[in-house]
Amino acid sequence: MQGLDYRFDAVGSKLNSFIDGDFRDVAGLAAQLNYCVTADFAAFAAFEYKNDYGHAYWGTPLVPVSFAGSHAVSGVVSGTAVSTFDGSIIGPLTIDSRTLTTNYNVADNATGAHDLWLRGGFAWTPLANVTVKDQYYSYQAKRSWFDSETYAFNNATSTIDRDRFFVTHNQHIIGDNADLTWDSRILGMDNRFAAQLQVSSNWITFEQEGNPDTFPADTVSVINPSPGVYGPEFPNTRNSRLTDVAGSFEDRLKITPVFALIGGVRLEQLTLNRFGVNFDGTIPDGQPFSKTWKPVSYRAAYTYEPIPGLTFYSMYATAYDPAGAALFSVTPDTLQLTSTRLYETGAKQTLWDGRAEWTVAAYDIKQRNVLVPVNTTTVDVAGEVASKGVEMAAAVRPIDGLKLWGNAAFTHARFVNFDVWSGNTPV
């Protein structure tokens, strides 16, 4: 239908807690315009803006029972702990009731983000059997954490040692996705060809506290501490840019009205450039560096519909993954794409005039060169992660307005060929 439709949303919220100075303000604006110029051509434009800002609370430090005395809170924590800063043993442990609402963060702490997401595109049907779609997008985000986040009781001074930590992100992504579908007949058989071209570029700059001599940064009283301020910053800067160009092609040929073959291929080029500088002007080990990958992945499948509403299928597919955000943390010796091989088979049926449905699927997945966090600051490359499983789901709508559904899954996943973790279950 020709014409214009639109939507506009504005939201906001303010959250306060019982902890001193802990709050969060969130606001957002969003709008979208859809314009059908003709029955064969439609365009759209949209934007989203979000702002998130607040002061943070990162926990109440544990203290010895001997310090808290009659103010010790029972039944919450027990045992001993190792000081984050000097390695001394703190204990027996408790929480001091006088600190239950105390925020040990610095007074000028701030955490938050604001981002802007713009999109636009069109859908065009130049011929009855040909459809072309295109979408452009741009995403910008700035995020920051600026805090004292770690607190530990100091046995020698009966005070709280604090650290300093900050990190900022400045990210900009632009890209375009173009799609083509073409329905035709080959030797009397229905055929659908689909193609997609994707291009994108992702720039991101990280800044993070880099001076190892600033920890712990200061010491404050356990009771009624003076919050102080963050103080000087010593940023390590890391710049990364990931560009991606990919073309994928898929074809579905219906050999008979109930049996179809599907095949596809994806050609891709990924390029990562990374460089940085430390707070003292030195260049990080292994930087700058650049790496280009040119993976080719495939997929093949069939579908069989012996009776209307009941479909059996099987699929084989391969894929390559730049490991998402973790790619920006890799070093030159871990520059490997994660590769995946998948077998899947199953069945799906819709019955009772669409009021009931069920699905069952079995799969076998192997992933190689998987980036795995081994602690809070380090990732390692696992040789292989193997997963097998079965999943079942069903739903029924006995009366209008009421839907009952359920699903069950069994997954067996293990590390393979990964140091001492082999045979263990991944997170």
What are 334-358's pLDDT values in tens digits? 567 889 999 999 999 999 998 999 9
| DSSP states of 70-94 | GGEETTS--S-EE-TTT--EE-SEE
Same domain, 345 and 358: yes
Same domain, 85 and 215: no
Q: Which two tokens stand for residue 289?
A: 């560096």
How confident is the model at residue 384, as a pLDDT? 87
Model pLDDT for residues 243-300, shown as the tens digit of each residue: 999 999 999 999 999 999 999 999 999 998 989 999 999 998 888 988 889 999 999 9
Closest listed residue to residue 86, CA positions, set 156, 147, 164: 156
How confident is the model at residue 329, as a pLDDT? 57
Residues 6+ apart with CB under 8 A from 48: 28, 29, 30, 115, 116, 117
Q: How far is CA 254 from CA 179, 180, 303, in A?
A: 21, 19, 9
Q: Which two tokens stand for residue 193?
A: 């060809």
Residues 6+ apart with CB under 8 A from 20: 101, 102, 103
In the chain, the percentage of residues whose pLDDT exceeds 90 is 78
Q: Give the CATH number of the domain where residue 9 resides.
A: 2.40.170.20
Is residue 427 in a domain?
Answer: no
Count of alpha carbons within 13 angstroms of residue 15, beta-carbon side: 12
How confident is the model at residue 383, as a pLDDT? 78
Q: For residues 236 and 208, what is the distance between their CA atoms, to the nearest angstrom?
A: 5
How confident is the model at residue 331, as a pLDDT? 57
Is residue 156 in a domain?
Answer: yes
pLDDT-wise least confident of 46-55, 134-143, 416-425: 416-425
Closest listed residue to residue 220, CA positions, set 151, 156, 164: 151
User: Looking at this protein, which amino acid is placed at residue 294?
Assistant: K
Q: For residues 364 and 367, what is the distance between their CA atoms, to the nearest angstrom?
A: 10
Q: Which residues pair with 115 in a beta bridge?
A: 50, 141
Closest listed residue to residue 276, CA positions, set 326, 243, 241, 323: 241
Same domain, 146 and 77: no
Q: For residues 209 and 43, what is the distance between their CA atoms, to the nearest angstrom?
A: 45
In the chain, the percentage of residues whose pLDDT exceeds 70 is 95
Where among 98, 121, 154 does a domain terminate? 98
Buried b (16+ CB within 10 A) or exposed e, 343-358: ebbbebbbeeeeeebb
Count of alpha carbons within 13 angstroms of residue 288, beta-carbon side: 12
Q: For residues 325 and 390, what is the distance between their CA atoms, to the nearest angstrom?
A: 29
Same domain, 70 and 194: no
Same domain, 37 and 117: yes
Model pLDDT for residues 146-188, shown as the tens digit of each residue: 999 999 999 999 999 999 989 999 999 999 999 999 999 999 9
Q: Does the pLDDT value for residue 12 go beyond 80?
A: yes
Same domain, 82 and 151: no
Same domain, 73 and 220: no
Model pLDDT for residues 194-247, shown as the tens digit of each residue: 999 999 999 999 999 888 777 778 999 999 999 999 988 899 999 999 999 999
Is residue 294 in a domain?
Answer: yes
What is the total count of domains within the chain? 2
Same domain, 80 and 16: no
Instruction: Compute the C-alpha angle 255/257/263, nearest 5°.
Output: 40
**pLDDT band, residue 332 (cuts 50/70/90):** low
Q: Does the pLDDT value for residue 376 go beyond 60?
A: no
Residues 6+ apart with CB under 8 A from 115: 48, 49, 50, 139, 140, 141, 142
How confident is the model at residue 325, as a pLDDT? 43
Same domain, 160 and 143: yes
**pLDDT band, residue 333 (cuts 50/70/90):** low
Q: Does the pLDDT value for residue 71 go beyond 90?
A: yes
Same domain, 169 and 75: no
Mean pLDDT of the chain: 92
Q: Does the pLDDT value for residue 142 go beyond 90?
A: yes
Is residue 259 in a domain?
Answer: yes
Is residue 85 in a domain?
Answer: yes
Domain that holds residue 321: 3-53+99-421
Same domain, 310 and 252: yes
Same domain, 79 and 184: no
